[in-house]
Amino acid sequence: MWSNVHSDAHGPLISEVEARDIRCGRNVKIIRPVNLYGCTIGDDCFIGPFVEIQKDVTIGSRTRIQSHSFVCELVTIGDDCVVAHGVMFINDLFAIGGPAKGQRDLWKSTFVGNHVSIGSNATILPVRICDGVVIGAGSVVTKDISKPGIYAGNPARFLRAL
Q: Which residues are catalytic?
A: 85
The β-bridge partners of 19 are 36
Sheet holding 82-83, edge to edge: 29-30, 46-47, 64-65, 82-83, 116-118, 133-135, 149-152, 157-160
Least Cα distance to 68 among 47, 93, 40 occurs for 47
The β-bridge partners of 89 are 124
